[in-house]
Every structure is written in C-alpha cells, then in structure tokens.
Chains A and B, each alone.
Chain A
Amino acid sequence: MKNRNRWIMLAAILLAIIAVALDYIQHPVVRTSGDTLDSIADEHEEGAPCSMDGMHAEEEDDEEEL
C-alpha cells in the first residue's frame, strides 16, 4: 500500500458496504414472481426524487387507492 490515505479510503468503503448490508437485512425485499424491468422504482414515475413531484408521488397514489 502506497500511503495512509489509501487505507482510510478502503476502510471507509468497507464500512459503507457493511452499513448497506445491515440496512438490506433489516429491510428485506419481498419479491413477487411478476417483478420485471418495469416494476422497480415505479414510485419515481411521478417525478425525480429531488423534485416537488417526487416528494409527493406515493402520497398521491395512496389517495387514489382510498
């Protein structure tokens, strides 16, 4: 290893991988047989996550269901 920064960065990446794995274990995906290319992240179709529409996308869907 060339320098200390390399070890710091690799440790940070490892830590991030562990955090994502723990999060995944806590929130397992319930996958149905109908999962396709189009079925994931459908909630985004109302707008980008950063945008106004993205903030309310699923809320509007819920209202329609009610």
Chain B
Amino acid sequence: MDSADTKPDIPLVAMTVPGLLLVSLFLNHAFAARSTILFLIGAGLGVTLFHASFGFAGGWRQFVRKQHGAAIRAQLLLLAGTSLLFFPVLGSVFPQIHANGAFGPVSVSVLVGAFMFGVGMQLGGGCGSGTLFTVGGGHVRMLITLAFFVVGTVVGSAHLPWWLALPNMGKVSLIETFGWLPALVLQALVLGVLYLVVARMERRRHGRLDSLGDAPQVRSLGRRLVFGPWPLGWGIAGLALLGLVTLLVAGHPWSITFAFGLWGTKIWSALGGDISGWSYWSSGYPAAALNRSVLADTTSLMNFGIIMGAVLAAGLAGRFAPPSRLKLNGVLTAILGGLLLGYGARLAFGCNIGGMLAGIASGSLHGWLWLFAGFIGTLWGVRLRTLFGMDPPAGERP
C-alpha cells in the first residue's frame, strides 16, 4: 500500500517523539553532548533510510534480476557525493579538523567476508543499514535476521585472527598514494564509468531510466518531507550530509556492525561464556568497549538512533509492523542470511556501510574490493533465493 493511502500512526508517534527526547536528555546528562548529537544523527539516518527506502540488498537484486538500476545508480551517486565531502577532510585540507578514515586490509579476509555478506544480504533480506531500518519499521522477519547477524558477528570476531593470517597486503590508501585531489578525480571517473554501464544496461532492457528525483506526486513537498515517501535523490543528499556530520562529530565515518559484535559478546559473556581466548576482544578499542556501557560506544548509539528514527518514520508514514505471516523457509533463510551477514561483515572490516561506503569514501582500496566481492556474492545470493523459493525463477512473474 502506498503511504499516501495510510494515516500516521498517532499512538506510535506520540510514544517515539518523547522517547527520542528522553534518551537525548539522558545521554546529555550521563555522558556528553557529543553522545546526544551522535544519537540524533542516527535518528536522522533512520528517517532518511526509511522514507527514501534506501536499501542496498533489494537494489542490487532488482538490477541482477530485471536490470532495474535506479537504486544502484543512487548508491553510486552516494559513493561519489560522500567521497567529494570526505576526501578534502581526510586529505588534511582543513588541518583544524581531526578525522580518520575507515581502513581495512586488501586481503583474502575482506574478499571472502564481502562475498559472504553479499550472499547473506539476499537471504537475510537486508544489508547492515537495511536490517536496522526495517527492524525499526517493524518487520518481524528482520528481527530474526538481526539476531543471527549479531551471532555471526560474534563468531566472526572469534575467527578473525585466523583469516588475517591469510594473504594480506595491508592498508592501501589512495589519498596517501596519489594525493586527495588526483585520487578523488580517479575515483569519480571509475564511479562515472560504472554509472554509465548500469544506465546503459537499464536503458537497453527497459528503453528508459527510472528517475531518481521523482516519487508519486501524491502529497505537497512539506507533507512528503514529514510523512514520506522520499525520492531516492533526497535519500542520497540526506545520507551524504549526515555521513559528513558523523565524520566531523565522531572523528570517523559511519559504521554499524562493530556494535553487533559488541552486543553479542556482552550477552555471551553475561550468560557465562568464556571469551578469554578471543584475541579480538582482549585488547584495543574492542576490549575497552566491552568494559563500558554500550551507550559509551559511538556505533551502538547511532544504531539505536537509526532504529528509533525508523520507528518514527514508519509511524509518520502509517507503515509500522505491516501484517505478514512468517513461513518456515522465511525463518530458515533469515537465520542463514543473518549468520552470513554477521560473519562476513566481521571478516570484511564492516558491512555495506562501514566496509564499502566508508571504505571507498575514505580512499581505502579495501572498499573497492568489498564492492566487487559483495556484488559477486549477490549474484549467488539471488540464485539461492530462487532455489529456496523466495523468488520465482528469472523471467517468471512473481
């Protein structure tokens, strides 16, 4: 049902708005203003993701199955826009700003992890950001995906040292190699070529390109801004700008899945599980995060904000918790998909956001490796969806 046909869910909005305010006040009192700001940035991301329906998994699948390329073109523009905003900051054009990029190794670990993530996001029904905003939108199946996403991340963190011992070129920074401006031009060229390839395939199949700027004209501009739906173009602008604000406030790019591992490891530890042999959690930031409240962890704060923002947006759009009945294969694929998502994200140094978007926008070569391997994984994931009865065979109408 189009959200224009629905009415705002007043009781839900009436609970969520004071909830957001109360959490913000608590964070400001118990932690610091920075925590409040990061939580609210997360809420803004949640509203943007939900209203623009800005998902990666569905967009990649639409392109693989039917060459509908609007979502992929939007993602390429998001990568280009975020790079444009990040490169000068990370290239020290503004020396007074202290910020660091998201870097991972160019390694077998990232190659395998992103491939697994690509398969997992098709089976699980969402990527890192997609899982969070659909959970916020009240999709019960995605709750199962999220739970096993957390489990997979914990297992992945326990196995990560073994994977990192495999062939590994270490960190490769395009900004350090070429300088920020030449690296930005090079990256823009590659993204431009990919955009043209996607557009050409889409036009060849459908005779035209789906617009990124249009959404059904059913509401005035102001009402659409509050109640949705947003065109993809609004989503690109919102995500790129909030990504920049995250970089400036947090000192690092937006990431998601570290928090999943943290939550899972805390739960495992609270249940009496032994984590003393897991080197990932025994030193550095992970060890410190484990011994503090999750509210002191930037990634967790932003994830909570994204979920609450999506709850608010779903309430405003009148689309919270759509009625649906869980089927056995839906549950099993959510479990399998969640495990692959979590394990893959840990190996790949992040999901589609912390690994791919943040990596590419930081000029880290591992982000490009993530994009390549994640797309190959998606090709397999789309086939598996058909095999598991989630989609009809290609060419058949759903």
Contacts and interface: CB of A to CB of B under 8 A. Distances in A.
B255 A48 contact: yes
B177 interface: no
Contacts of B320: 6, 9
A55 B286 contact: yes
B103 A40 contact: no
A33 interface: no
Contact of A50 (B32, B257, B296, B307): B257
A15 to B, nearest CB: 11
B285 A40 contact: no
Contacts of B289: 49
B349 A5 contact: no
Contact of B358 (A27, A31, A35, A50): A50
Contact of A9 (B140, B283, B291, B345): B140
Interface in B2-52: 30-35, 37-38
Interface bin, chain B: 35 or more
Interface residues of A, number: 41
Contacts of A5: 138, 140, 321-324
A45 to B, nearest CB: 5
A50 B293 contact: no
Given A23-B294, A37-B32, A45 B286 contact: no
B354 A40 contact: no
B285 A3 contact: no
Interface in A47-62: 47-59
Interface string A14-50: 0000011001101111010001111111011111111
A58 to B, nearest CB: 5
Contacts of A13: 307, 311
B344 interface: no
A46 B323 contact: no
A48 B32 contact: no
Contacts of A20: 293-295, 304
B35 A40 contact: yes
A66 interface: no
B83 to A, nearest CB: 16
B32 A35 contact: yes
B143 A53 contact: no
B280 interface: yes
A47 B252 contact: yes
Contact of B34 (A41, A51, A58): A41
A52 B292 CA distance: 21
B251 to A, nearest CB: 5
Contacts of B104: 50-52
Contacts of A48: 100-102, 252-253, 255, 350, 354, 358
B103 A3 contact: no
B288 A47 contact: no
A29 B295 CA distance: 10
B13 to A, nearest CB: 14
A40 B100 contact: no
Contacts of A40: 31-32, 34-35, 296
A49 B345 CA distance: 12
B221 interface: no
Contacts of B304: 20
B285 A43 contact: yes
Contacts of B30: 24, 29, 31
Given A40-B35, A50-B355, A53-B103, 19 more contacts: A3-B321, A6-B138, A8-B140, A9-B140, A24-B30, A24-B294, A28-B293, A29-B292, A29-B296, A35-B31, A36-B32, A38-B34, A41-B298, A46-B100, A50-B257, A50-B354, A51-B104, A58-B283, A58-B285
Interface of A: 2-3, 5-6, 8-9, 12-13, 19-20, 23-24, 26-29, 31, 35-41, 43-59
A-B pairs with the 4 shortest C-beta distances? Answer: A50-B350, A49-B258, A50-B354, A48-B252
